[in-house]
Amino acid sequence: MATIPSFHLYGEKLDEEPRFWIHCETIKSRSSRHRWEIRLHRHERLFQILYIAAGSCDAIVGDETRVLLPPTILTLPPGVSHGFRFSKDIEGLVITIERSQLGEMTRERGRFAQWLSAPHAATLEPEEPDHAYLMDTLQRIAKENWRGDSGDDELLRDYVALAVRLAARTAVGDASAPADGRDERLALLNTLIQQHHREHRPLSFYAGQLGVSLTHLNRLVRSATGQTPHDLITAKLLDQSKRELTFSMATTREIAMRLGFEDPAYFSRFFSKHTGETPGAWRRREKARLNSGAEPRLASA
C-alpha cells in the first residue's frame, strides 16, 4: 500500500515548523494548478476548514467517500487523510490553522476535544441564523488574512474562534438530522409529493405535514438524496408531464392545466428549462421513437 504523504500545504515541501498560524486561500487557486484534483494526503499538525460555496466535490476523508454539494462545510483535524476532486466551477475557501493555536483560541478544556478529533461535514442553510453567520465569518477570516501586515491579528483570532465554535454547533445539529424515523419521513414526503405535486404547494406545506422546520426538511432530503425538496417536486412534475405527452392525446394547454400550471406558456418554459426541448418537440421525438419500437423514456433525470 502506498504511503500517504504529509504536507503543511498541499504540494509544498514539508518543513519542521509551519511558517504561519493561519493560511487562507480559495479552493480554485490551488486545485486549478493540480487539474482540479488534490490527491490523498494529510497534515500532521494542521486543522482545516473547507467551505464549498458553489460547484461540487468528490471527497475521500479517512475511509469514507463523500459527495459535497454547496453550501457545505467540512472540518479536518490533524492526521486524517483526505483528497478531493473538484468541479471546474468550484467556489469556496480553505482555511488552515496551526493546531496548537486553535486549542488556545477555543480555550479547549474538553468541550471541543471530541469534535476536534474527527472530521465533520455539514450542509449549511442560509436561512438558518447560525449557518448564515458562519458563512459570513469565514468570508471575514479570508478578507482579514489577505490584508497581510495591515490586518488586525487579534480580530482575526476572534473570527477564527467564533467560526470554530459555530462549526462545532453546526456539526452537532447536522448529525441530528438522520435521526430515528428519517426513512419514514422521506417515505411520507414522497407520498405527499405524489398527492399534491399538481397543487404547487410551497415547501413550508410539506415541512408542516412532516412536523419539521423548513431548514430540517432541506437538511433531511440533502443528506439522503443529495437533492433539495424542490428538486424532488420538479422531478415528479417532469415525469408526469412526459407521461401525459407520451400516452395521452391532450394538447399542451390541457396537460399544463392538469398539472396545475395556470399559464400554458409558463409550463412550456418550465419543461424546456429542465429538458432542453419544448413539450411539442419532446412529444414528436418521443412518439417517433416509440413508433420505431424503442422503450419510452419517462425518467425525469
For residues 210 and 117, state if they share a domain: no
pLDDT of residue 272: 96
In this predicted model, what pLDDT tens digit does every residue of 140-180 receive, in sequence order?
999 998 987 666 788 888 899 889 888 888 776 554 444 44
For residues 157 and 192, state if they share a domain: no
Q: Is residue 10 part of a domain?
A: no
For residues 152 and 281, state if they share a domain: no
Alpha carbon 271 to chain centroid distance?
25
For residues 154 and 189, state if they share a domain: no
**% residues pLDDT > 90 (the chain):** 46
Q: Is residue 298 part of a domain?
A: no
pLDDT greater than 70 at residue 107? no
Q: Is residue 15 part of a domain?
A: no
Q: Is residue 4 part of a domain?
A: no
In this predicted model, what pLDDT tens digit does every residue of 246-269 receive, in sequence order?
888 899 999 999 999 999 999 999
For residues 150 and 266, state if they share a domain: no
pLDDT of residue 212: 79
pLDDT of residue 176: 43
Distance CA 96, CA 74 (A): 12
Domain boundary residue among 137, 157, 175? 175
DSSP string of the chain, one letter each residue: -PPPPB-SSTTSPPPSS-S-SEEEEEHHHHHGGGTTEEEEEB-SSEEEEEEEEES-EEEEETTEEEEE-SSEEEEE-TT--EEEEE-TT-EEEEEEEEHHHHHHHTT-SSTTHHHHTS-EEEE--TTSHHHHHHHHHHHHHHHHHHTGGGS-HHHHHHHHHHHHHHHHHHHHHHHTTT-TTHHHHHHHHHHHHHHHGGGT--HHHHHHHHTS-HHHHHHHHHHHHSS-HHHHHHHHHHHHHHHHHHH----HHHHHHHTT-S-HHHHHHHHHHHHSS-HHHHHHHHHHHHHTTPPP-----
Domain boundary residue among 141, 175, 209? 175
Domain boundary residue among 131, 148, 175? 175
For residues 217 and 267, state if they share a domain: yes
Q: Is residue 299 part of a domain?
A: no
Distance CA 54, CA 92 (A): 7
Q: At 89, which CATH number?
A: 2.60.120.10
The backbone torsions φ and ψ at residue 221, rounded to the nearest 5 degrees and listed phi first, read: -70, -40
For residues 58 and 140, state if they share a domain: yes
Q: Is residue 102 part of a domain?
A: yes
pLDDT-derived band of residue 82, with 50, 70 and 90 as boundaries? Answer: very high
Number of domains the chain contains: 2
For residues 170 and 263, state if they share a domain: no
pLDDT of residue 301: 37
For residues 158 and 214, state if they share a domain: no
pLDDT greater than 90 at residue 76? yes
For residues 161 and 201, state if they share a domain: no
Q: At 265, which CATH number?
A: 1.10.10.60
For residue 113, the enclosing domain spans 22-175
pLDDT of residue 60: 93
For residues 161 and 195, state if they share a domain: no
pLDDT-derived band of residue 297, with 50, 70 and 90 as boundaries? Answer: low
In this predicted model, what pLDDT tens digit does every residue of 155-165 receive, in sequence order?
888 899 889 88
pLDDT-derived band of residue 27, with 50, 70 and 90 as boundaries? Answer: very high
Q: Is residue 188 part of a domain?
A: yes
Q: Is residue 261 part of a domain?
A: yes
For residues 94 and 40, state if they share a domain: yes
Mean pLDDT of the chain: 84
